[in-house]
Amino acid sequence: MVYLVGSGPGDPDLITRAGLKALWRADVVAYDRLVAPELLEEARPHAELVYVGKDPHGPATDQDHINRLLVERARAGLTVVRLKGGDPFVFGRGGEEAMALTAAAVPFQVVPGVSAAVAVPAYAGIPVTHRRLAASFAVVTGRTGDGRDIDWRGFSGIDTLVLLMGVGALDRVATELVAAGRDRRQPAAIIENGTLPSQRVIVGALEDIAGLAVANSVGAPATVVVGEVVRLRSAVDWFTGVARELAPSLA
C-alpha cells in the first residue's frame, strides 16, 4: 500500500491525524524538501527515509524516479508513505503519482493535507474570503511544469488570488495581471515561511510587491495574496505575537 500524504504548509502540528497514522505504520517514507523534520521523527525507528525533494533553484528529483520508487517499494511488500508539503493534489504532483500507481496496479490511499493556499494567508491574518470584500478566490501557480503560459485574463474577475511557487516570477506575474485588467493599486501581500515562527509578511500594492520582495530578499517558500482582503491584516493578525513567543524556544 502507498499513502499519498499531505503534511501541511510548514508547521508540523498542521498534519492531519490520518496523516500521522499513516506515518506510524510506514516502512518507507519518501519526503519532500518542505516537510518539517519533526514529522520524520514520527516514523518508526527502522523506517527507510528517502529524500525526493525538488529545489526550484537547485537539484530536483526526477518525477519518474519517484514514481518508480513508490511502485518498487510497494511491490516488495512494504508500506510506503509519500509525504508531501501542503496537499498532495494542490500543485503537489499527487495526481501524477496516483496515475502511476494505478497503471502499476498498486493500491494506494490519498490523505489530504492543509494547503498553503488557505493556511498561509490565515496565519498572516488574511482571510481569502470575506462577506463584504471577497466572494471568490483562486489558487494559481507561478510556474507550470510544461512551460505553458497562463492566461491571466481568466482571473480578472476573481476577488482574491493566491499565488503559490511564484516568487521568482512575481514581477512578470504582477505585470501580466495589471495588463489583464487588475487594478495596479490593489493590495498585495507576500508571506515567507508561512505558519513557521520565522514567518515574514510584506504588504504593498500589486504594482510594487515584486520590488518589495527583492528589496527584502524574500525567498521560497513564499505565498502571494492579491485582493482587497489584504486590507484586513491589521485587524485580523493573530500569529505575530505567537511567533515572537515561539522564537526564543527555537534559538
Which residues are marked as active site?
Answer: 32, 54
How far CA 100 is from CA of 23, 40, 74, in Å, comes to: 21, 25, 12
- Encode 190-221: b = buried (16+ Cβ within 10 Å), e = exposed: bbbbbbbbebbbbbbbbbebbebbeeeebebb
Sheet holding 160-164, edge to edge: 137-141, 160-164, 222-226, 187-192, 200-205
* Contact present, 75 and 108 (Cβ < 8 Å): no
